[in-house]
Copies of this chain bind each other. A is one copy, B any other.
C-alpha cells in the first residue's frame, strides 16, 4: 500500500471539543451604544475579569479591526453594513474556536445587529446595550467627536445627524451613568454565570 491508497478523511476538531477544553460556552457579547457610551471600556473590564477567572476571550473593536480586516472600507451606507457583516462573520469563527467574543462597535441599526444574531446559534448572541443618555456621552466626549459633529466637521454622526436604533429586547442593559466601571462589568459577569455560560471548574 502506498500513501496514495490512504483514505484521506478529515479529522475536524469540533466546537464542542474546543469549548470543553476551555471549560466555557462560547458566545458573543455584542456591545452596542452611542459613541462615548462606554462600550470599549466596559468590554475591556469584562474581558479582564474573564481572564482572571481563567476564561478564553477575544475583544474585537476598532483598534484591531478598522486598520486590518476592514481597512478597505469607508463610511458609506454600504460599507457600514459590510463592516458589521464582517465583524459578525469573524465573531462567529471565534465562537466556533470556542472563545467568548466581546465586540465593541456602535452598530446603530437593528437590522445589522439582527443579521449578526442570525449568523450564530440561539443563545450564542448576547446583545449588551450601553444605555447611556446622549447628554452624558456628549459630556464625556472622550475623542472630541461630538464637538466636531455639532460643528458640522463630521457628518452622519450617530446621535447627532444619524439615528441610533435602541435595542428593543437586549439580553443585557447597562446604565453606565448610574454605575461605575467595576459595577457595570460585574453585572455582565453575573449574567454569564446566571446563564451557565461560564462556570467554575
A contact residues vs B (CB 8 Å cutoff): 3-4, 6, 8-13, 17-18, 21-22, 38, 40-41, 44-45, 47-48, 51, 54, 56-60, 64-65, 68-69, 71-72, 82, 86, 89-90, 92-94, 96-99, 119, 136, 139-140, 142, 176-181
> When chains A and B are docked, how far (Å) is the Cα of A8 from the Cα of B82?
30
> When chains A and B are docked, how far (Å) is the Cα of A44 from the Cα of B12?
6
> When chains A and B are docked, how far (Å) is the Cα of A60 from the Cα of B92?
12
Contact A64 B96 (CB under 8 A): yes
With a cutoff of 8 Å between Cβ atoms, the chain B residues found around residue A38 in the complex are 8
Contact A6 B93 (CB under 8 A): no
> When chains A and B are docked, how far (Å) is the Cα of A63 from the Cα of B165?
34
> When chains A and B are docked, how far (Å) is the Cα of A140 from the Cα of B94?
33
CB distance from A20 to the nearest CB of B (A): 10
With a cutoff of 8 Å between Cβ atoms, the chain B residues found around residue A86 in the complex are 69, 86
> When chains A and B are docked, how far (Å) is the Cα of A45 from the Cα of B69?
28
> When chains A and B are docked, how far (Å) is the Cα of A18 from the Cα of B48?
11
Of chain B, the residue at the smallest CB distance from A14 is: B51
> When chains A and B are docked, how far (Å) is the Cα of A142 from the Cα of B68?
35
Contact B58 A97 (CB under 8 A): yes
> When chains A and B are docked, how far (Å) is the Cα of A13 from the Cα of B53?
13
Contact A21 B89 (CB under 8 A): no
With a cutoff of 8 Å between Cβ atoms, the chain B residues found around residue A13 in the complex are 47-48, 51, 57, 59
> When chains A and B are docked, how far (Å) is the Cα of A56 from the Cα of B99?
10
Of chain B, the residue at the smallest CB distance from A46 is: B11
> When chains A and B are docked, how far (Å) is the Cα of A93 from the Cα of B76?
25
Which has the most chain B C-beta neighbours within 10 Å: A8, A140, A178?
A: A8
* A56 in contact with B22 given A3-B179, A4-B139, A178-B3 (CB within 8 Å): yes
With a cutoff of 8 Å between Cβ atoms, the chain B residues found around residue A139 in the complex are 4
Q: Which of B6, B68, B90, B181 contacts A69 (CB 8 A)?
A: B90
